[in-house]
Amino acid sequence: MAKSKKRRAKRAGLSPGTLVHVGEQKTARVRVTLIDYDEQQYAEKEVTNVEECFPFRDRPTTTWINIDGLHQVEAIERIGRHFGLHPLVLEDIVHTEQRPKLEDFEQYLFLVTKILSYDEATAKIVAEQVSMVLGANFVMTFQEGAKDDFVPVRERIKRGTVRLRTLGADYLLYALLDSIVDNYFIILEKLGEQIETLEEALLLAPAPEQLNALHKLRREIISMRRAVWPLREVVTRLERRESKLIREGSTVFLRDVYDHIARIIDTVENYRDLVAVLLDLYLSSLSNKMNEVMKTLTIITTIFIPLSFIAGIYGMNFEYMPELKWSWSYPVVLAFMAALVGAMIFYFRKRKWF
């Protein structure tokens, strides 16, 4: 995290609208995929030159331009200029540390969202920025990654139910959002499993490793919240149809996405509560254990220290200690010690110490 700030800080002082890629370069070269379809036809090709996309701006068919790799900023700039995108939009696209947001530029909508994935190696949630532009009959998606997260959506269009093909660009946007949000459930599943595993371990025997695991979980849940909360507002605004680019028939679908997000937020908040409960449980168990340890210590000490003292008394080397000469002294002292132990055990039992 601190690393990303450092990069951002390097930007400070530049004129706004200057394109500087802030993020990781994940692909060797920028890959532009073009999908164009309507009721009758479906075409998909990978273009080598961004200019090939330009004619699709004004065609009545629905076009989806997907750009993977954001490090060649001039390509982004060319395509942006042709499609009339504001310089600040282009800046946000290549600067991959935006919060999820929706901006309405009348001619087009600009959305920033995050794809989450779970990195098994570091056990961390990794967020990748996906910027989307919705025009009258096109959708543009921009991301850094080489991994193609939108395969299912592409497959669905290709397989070609009529419904999806005729519903236009706003439905395509919905399908992409839906696929992103569906992915969040997989992350939730991972977190849920970890919580369950931790809870079982905690109820068995609390150990310091669990503390670190708990704190790690807390951090992951905090970062999950950051990605999901602003998305809710984005989808609410889409659903309210503030822009004329969203047609009436799409609201029912967007409401469904909203619903999923609400459920995700609900679960995340629930996880937060559960992790808090587990942390309390851990600390209380620790207190309980400490109490038990202290009691053992106290009982042992309280019983044996006075006994040792008595033994110490008769270990003294005074010449005139009449008891030392008496023949019953030893058994009497032993009996007295035994009585003392009995009395103490009785006292502890009464106080319910064990």
Query: Under rule CB under 8 A, which residues in 200-229 are in contact with a copy of itself?
Result: 203, 205, 208, 211-212, 215, 218-219, 222, 226
Q: How many residues does the chain have?
A: 354
Nearest to 298 by CA among 347, 339, 336, 335: 347
Task: Using DSSP, state whether 120 is helix, strand or coil.
Answer: coil
The one among 323, 336, 342, 354 contacting a copy of itself by CB under 8 A: 323
Segment interacting with a copy of itself, rule: CB under 8 A, options 36-44, 122-130, 135-143, 320-328: 320-328
- If one asks whether residue 107 binds a copy of itself (CB under 8 A), the answer comes out as no
How does DSSP assign 286-354, residue by residue? HHHHHHHHHHHHHHHHHHHHHHHHHHHHTT---S--HHHH-TTHHHHHHHHHHHHHHHHHHHHHHTT--
Segment interacting with a copy of itself, rule: CB under 8 A, options 29-37, 48-56, 124-132, 330-338: 330-338
The one among 72, 117, 179, 236 contacting a copy of itself by CB under 8 A: 179
Do 36 and 62 meet the contact criterion of CB atoms below 8 Å apart?
Answer: yes
- If one asks whether residue 318 binds a copy of itself (CB under 8 A), the answer comes out as yes
The one among 146, 313, 339, 343 contacting a copy of itself by CB under 8 A: 313
Segment interacting with a copy of itself, rule: CB under 8 A, options 35-43, 46-54, 128-136, 288-296: 288-296
Look up residue 62 and give its amino acid: T
**Site map for a copy of itself, 77-106, x if CB under 8 A?**
---------x-x---x----xxx-x-x-x-
- If one asks whether residue 290 binds a copy of itself (CB under 8 A), the answer comes out as yes
The one among 25, 41, 49, 291 contacting a copy of itself by CB under 8 A: 291
Segment interacting with a copy of itself, rule: CB under 8 A, options 4-12, 34-42, 62-70, 237-245: 4-12
Q: In the numeric block, which tokens belong to residue 127?
A: 């967020």
251-280 residues in contact with a copy of itself (CB under 8 A) are: 252-253, 255-256, 259, 262-263, 266-267, 270, 273-274, 277, 279-280
The one among 54, 330, 336, 346 contacting a copy of itself by CB under 8 A: 330
Angle of CA points 50, 143, 73, to nearest 5°:
50
Give the whole-angstrom CA distance, residue 9 versus residue 315.
77
User: What is the smallest separation between the CB atom of 109 and a copy of itself, expressed in angstroms?
Assistant: 14
- If one asks whether residue 293 binds a copy of itself (CB under 8 A), the answer comes out as yes
Do 110 and 102 meet the contact criterion of CB atoms below 8 Å apart?
Answer: yes
Nearest to 134 by CA among 237, 225, 209, 46: 237
Give the list of residues 6+ apart from residue 233 with CB closer than 8 angstroms, or none. Answer: 102
Give the whole-angstrom CA distance, residue 239 versus residue 222.
26
Give the whole-angstrom CA distance, residue 30 versus residue 10.
24
- If one asks whether residue 67 binds a copy of itself (CB under 8 A), the answer comes out as no
Angle of CA points 107, 32, 44, to nearest 5°:
90
- If one asks whether residue 305 binds a copy of itself (CB under 8 A), the answer comes out as yes
Segment interacting with a copy of itself, rule: CB under 8 A, options 30-38, 45-53, 65-73, 178-186: 178-186
User: To 10 degrees, what angle do helices 73-82 and 87-94 make?
Assistant: 150
Q: Report CA-CA distances (Å) from 4 to 93, 97, 98, 180, 247.
A: 16, 8, 11, 23, 38
Segment interacting with a copy of itself, rule: CB under 8 A, options 122-130, 131-139, 238-246, 313-321: 313-321
- If one asks whether residue 41 binds a copy of itself (CB under 8 A), the answer comes out as no
Closer by beta carbon to a copy of itself, 119 or else 320: 320
The one among 15, 60, 200, 244 contacting a copy of itself by CB under 8 A: 15
- If one asks whether residue 124 binds a copy of itself (CB under 8 A), the answer comes out as no
Closer by beta carbon to a copy of itself, 69 or else 135: 135
